Amino acid sequence: MSEHDNLDLTSVRKRLEGRTGRDYWRSLDEIAKTPGFEDFLHREFPRQASEWSEGEGDGRRDFLKLMGASLALAGLGACTRQPTEYIMPYVNQPENDYPGKPLFFASAITQGGYAAGVLVESNDGRPTKIEGNPQHPASLGSTDAYTQGAVLNVYDPDRSQTINFLGEIRSYASFLASFKDIVTEQVGKQGAGLRILSETTTSPTLEAQMKDLLTQYPSAKWIQWNPVGLGRRQGTKLAFGSYLNTVYKFDAADVVVALDADFFLSGPGAVRYSRDFMSKRRVRDGKMSMNRLYVVESTPTSTGAKADHRWPLKPSEIEPFARELAGAVGSGGAGGGAWSSQPWFVAMVKDLQANRGASVVVAGESQSAEVHALAFTINEALGNLGKTVIFTDPVEASPDDQLARLKELSSDLDAGTVDVLMIVGGNPVFNTPADLDFAKKLQKARLRIRLGLYDDETSQYCQWQIPQAHELEMWGDARAFDGTVTIVQPLILPLYGGKSPSELLAALTETPEKSGYDALRDYWQKQHTGADFENWWRRAVHDGVVAESALPAKAVSGARVPPASSRPVGGADTFEVSFYPDPYIYDGSYANNGWLQELPRPMTKLTWDNAALMSIATAERLKLWSEARVELKHGGKTVWASVWVQPGQPDNTIAVHMGFGRTRSGRAGNGAGFNAYQIWTSDSTTYASGVELRDLHEKYSIAATQHHYLIDREHGPQKDAAHAASPGDADFETAEAKLRGIIRSVGFGEFLKNPGVVDEMGEQPPKGLTIYPDVWKYNGYAWAMAIDLTACTGCNACVAACQAENNIAVVGKTQVLNTREMHWIRVDRYWEGSVENPTAHFQPVPCMHCENAPCEVVCPVAATVHDQEGLNTMVYNRCVGTRYCSNNCPYKVRRFNFFLYSDYVTESTKLQKNPDVSVRSRGVMEKCTYCTQRIQYAKIMSEREERAVRDGEIVTACEAACPTQAIVFGDQNDPNSRVTKLKKTQLNYGMLADLNTRPRTTYLAELRNPNPAIPVLEKKS
């Protein structure tokens, strides 16, 4: 979006006014019909499509030279014979292991300390793919995007690989030897000079170990720090006087109000909450009811996109809003403010009160303790406590006011009383508030020891850098959002001799070399009361869940209404900036993960960058547009930022995501985006007000995928048919013809009144419409997919899972700018309605596996052909790269390897590759295969067992990952399969089915449940 000159608010508004009925738009450029947008629409690879070089400035001569060379080589290529390969068998083969057959092991991946139970696929000893653990309450078989990415981190070539002391390589033995004197000294001082700074942990073993240490060193201090979730932790303390864990029961809630809470994507239990929420929302199998979601938020999120009613509020308005809501539901606090007179507010309160005990009011991860406390008082007034909002003892080990403890550590450091600072994981130099100036203070500790996955920003200020073992390389344990314990088991020995936190802490004890496994087993042996520990232990490790370890519900009441916090609101010329963790790279800890960097963010579709998100009116006022570089100034600190104009962002506010702008994260994370922590201060962890903005008058390119692979919704056969005789409507036709029903969304009430409404939104050609005899009958299996748009939250877990499963290459920012990202499934985001507060819709688009596939007929070398089960197969070895197929694909789901995107060089990442899928080279086309390797595996298994493939036996990677089970795959010839049943529902429709492509992938139209008492907001003009 660089066409600032071509775009102005007046023209956008004017165009929106002209629209009637259902109006969907992809971006502001679409509405304004900028030339750039048209280019994207009509050409598949608009920007520098002819550019052949990865670098800059290569000319025609180089091209000719290279072409000559490659022609010569192509001829010779056929004359080689296969290189000799070797087989390295085991010396002693483990029991139950068949070489070549993958095994799955239960373990856990943590984020912010909270565990997601996983089953990790091990191919001949290499962890290659992470699946959810169906037995684990936080997963139920699904995962989110960062869990999918975790396996790539294991093989990250930029990981810290050696123990370093002041830049010199040392052994762990020499570390222990030199540390011995320090231990003796600290034992003498009762640990007065010892500080341990770790990440938030939920590990029972680690907590016990820390408590033992604090007994041994009573004056030592343990500080936990995680920049995310500060308000969540303090919320219960503020409301109830003690730290508690909150578990929401969205599967028992009919009305949900989110206070700047993106509970689909952030916070403990998000994957489970997504599934629970959708179980109440789906209209299926005779269940004819839907829950209702109200969202107020300061930046568009996935949760806001799924909301039935959403209102953008400034960050400073969230707390007053919560207070007013508290007053309105009768839990005390101020009532009767400005919102109370709004009809929608009244209707929402009425809805909440009608669903006492069956509603949830949830505050966001980044919200202040006050907002969390207010949410608890509202829930209590609504009778939700103990029903939909459950409290348990804390899941986190020794919860405390992390910010206060961190400040305390800072002043201790300043006072020079810290002799030894052990930093166990985390990255405090990067992710602590800017005003603490932690990097400077850190250096006042006499000895700094760092255990870290990377030699990062923090490591550079520490004398000792010790490589940390990845979670897939170590023994440990962790609790989930409801307290359930998972034993974390390693899949592989530490690649670089890494140590687990528990192993490093052992250095402070009398058994400095105690292994993480021994510490873990000893702890659980002590906890175990029954007779047969060995059996219990084996079961716990095997299942990935310690039976009955979920924390029991605790009866809590009497939430106190907190006094109003005195956070200033922004002035007229300054901005309120709200801070959020990035949905994929989190607080920055996943910054070096190429998969996650390149994953388009749900709402902005940005890759490789964060941005200062602002509303169109604000951008207009400032005479700025997307990709403008600006400087943000807050609390005396400045940071550069790039602007991104975001529909649905409240005016005069800026939203930024944290975790970018790393300087020592590695090749993928360095230089991606700007470091928002530089203006994140300890008095404004939720949002900062009074932020000044200065235009730097520079342009900064942002790789956003919102215009990539656009489908032309305006020029199809329907338009020709319907509007042949209506001249002069070149710009706007009636909505139905215009939209071709690519995305279909209906109100629940409308659907109940007219169940056939979805079919009416598009044209479906009759079955026999073909000039060829319709001879092929799909006897046997007929693979098909149904995607439920009601359930899709746009979280992109499917995209990440697909990338992991199918060896999909990361292309980098420059190539994304050229529309060359390789994802086999993409999630299209559509806006609907006004630019100030549009509704958002998501639509995942994999290959449709059309029965009449347009790609197949144009391939000159039969590299893409149909198989007898309806798969549109792609044969890499036949492909010569004409790209005719992708040119002819109406869905634009084919991806071309313009360069050698697959990494053939880095040794460590080779280990991650799925051995069942070819790694594609340069010059070939690729696309979604419906995970054919999984289909073949299931078919072989079934044939070996002399039976048919069972429904649900084949789970595609995207389907497996999906937190809301929006994707269903199966055999549409089987009348009892789930996919057949879904395709028979009245919500089912095929995308662009009017082209008679007969797509095997179809969609279930999105249902929304707006409150009939709330009038549809008039479009602002």
Partner 1 sequence: MAQIFHSSANQLSKLGITVGLLAVVGLGGILFELGADSSYATRQGEAREQPVPFSHTHHVGSMGIDCRYCHTAVENSWFANVPPTKTCMNCHSQIWLTSPTLEPVRASYRNDASIQWTKVHDLPDFVYFNHSIHVKKGVGCETCHGRVDQMPLMKQQSSLEMRWCLDCHRNPEKYVRPRQFITMMGYEPERDAKADQHTIGVQLVKEYHIQKLDTCYTCHR
Residues that bind partner 1 (CB under 8 A): 78-79, 81-82, 84-93, 98-101, 865, 867-869, 871, 873, 875-877, 916-918, 929, 932-933, 935-936, 940, 943-944, 946
Q: At what angle do helices 315-328 and 343-354 cross, to 10 degrees?
A: 50
Which amino acid is present at 953?
E
Q: Distance between CA 476 and CA 483 in Å, rounded?
A: 15
Return the beta strands (E) in 713-852 as ranges: 745-747, 783-788, 826-832, 839-845
At its nearest, how many Å lie between partner 1 and the CB of residue 824? 13
At its nearest, how many Å lie between partner 1 and the CB of residue 783? 11
At its nearest, how many Å lie between partner 1 and the CB of residue 543? 24
Contact 636, 688 (CB under 8 A): no
- The first and second tokens of residue 672, run together, are 């991606």
Contact 272, 974 (CB under 8 A): no
SS3 565: coil
At its nearest, how many Å lie between partner 1 and the CB of residue 87? 5
First CA to last CA distance, the chain: 23
- The first and second tokens of residue 32, run together, are 């304004």
Which of 35/94 has CB closer to partner 1? 94
Nearest CA to 350 among 1016, 1017, 1013, 1008?
Answer: 1013
Q: Distance between CA 183 and CA 449 in Å, rounded?
A: 13
Contact 255, 355 (CB under 8 A): yes
Which amino acid is present at 345?
F
At its nearest, how many Å lie between partner 1 and the CB of residue 928? 12
Q: Distance between CA 675 and CA 656 in Å, rounded?
A: 10
At its nearest, how many Å lie between partner 1 and the CB of residue 933? 5
DSSP, residue by residue, 428-452? HHHHS-GGG-HHHHHTTSSEEEEEE
Contact 995, 989 (CB under 8 A): no
At its nearest, how many Å lie between partner 1 and the CB of residue 936? 7
Which of 537/778 has CB closer to partner 1? 778
At its nearest, how many Å lie between partner 1 and the CB of residue 919? 8
Q: Which helix (H) or strand (E) holds 238?
A: helix 230-240
**Cα–Cα–Cα angle for 12, 17, 20, nearest 5°?**
125
Which of 681/918 has CB closer to partner 1? 918
DSSP 595: H
Which of 511/868 has CB closer to partner 1? 868
At its nearest, how many Å lie between partner 1 and the CB of residue 636? 57
Which of 20/868 has CB closer to partner 1? 868
At its nearest, how many Å lie between partner 1 and the CB of residue 492? 17
At its nearest, how many Å lie between partner 1 and the CB of residue 868? 6
Which of 263/901 has CB closer to partner 1? 901
Strands 359-363 and 309-312, by their bridges, are unpaired
- The first and second tokens of residue 298, run together, are 């300061």
Which of 836/869 has CB closer to partner 1? 869
Burial environment of residue 266 by CB neighbours within 10 A (0 to 12, 13 to 18, 19 or more): buried
At its nearest, how many Å lie between partner 1 and the CB of residue 872? 10
Contact 696, 629 (CB under 8 A): yes
Q: Distance between CA 738 and CA 719 in Å, rounded?
A: 7
DSSP 851: T
DSSP, residue by residue, 378-389? HHHHTT-BTTTE
Which of 533/876 has CB closer to partner 1? 876
Which of 380/869 has CB closer to partner 1? 869
Residues 6+ apart with CB under 8 A from 361: 256, 257, 258, 259, 325, 352, 375, 378, 379, 382, 384
Which of 84/566 has CB closer to partner 1? 84
At its nearest, how many Å lie between partner 1 and the CB of residue 92? 5
Which of 624/874 has CB closer to partner 1? 874
Which of 871/960 has CB closer to partner 1? 871
At its nearest, how many Å lie between partner 1 and the CB of residue 245? 44
How far lies 1019's CA from each of 19, 22, 30, 345, 738, in Å? 11, 12, 18, 19, 20
At its nearest, how many Å lie between partner 1 and the CB of residue 851? 15
Which amino acid is present at 630?
V
Which amino acid is present at 609?
D
Which of 61/81 has CB closer to partner 1? 81
At its nearest, how many Å lie between partner 1 and the CB of residue 887? 21
Nearest CA to 545 among 209, 248, 116?
Answer: 116
Residues 6+ apart with CB under 8 A from 776: none
Which of 100/530 has CB closer to partner 1? 100
How far lies 263's CA from each of 210, 258, 301, 608, in Å? 31, 8, 10, 24
Contact 371, 378 (CB under 8 A): no
At its nearest, how many Å lie between partner 1 and the CB of residue 772? 19
- The first and second tokens of residue 791, run together, are 């359930």
Find residue 107's DSSP bridge partners. 118
At its nearest, how many Å lie between partner 1 and the CB of residue 100? 3
Which of 55/77 has CB closer to partner 1? 77
- The first and second tokens of residue 907, run together, are 């040794």
Return the beta strands (E) in 910-1012 as ranges: 925-926, 967-971, 988-989, 1001-1004, 1006-1008
Nearest CA to 804 among 931, 666, 672, 908?
Answer: 931
Which amino acid is present at 307?
A
Which of 99/571 has CB closer to partner 1? 99
Which of 99/558 has CB closer to partner 1? 99
Which of 100/766 has CB closer to partner 1? 100
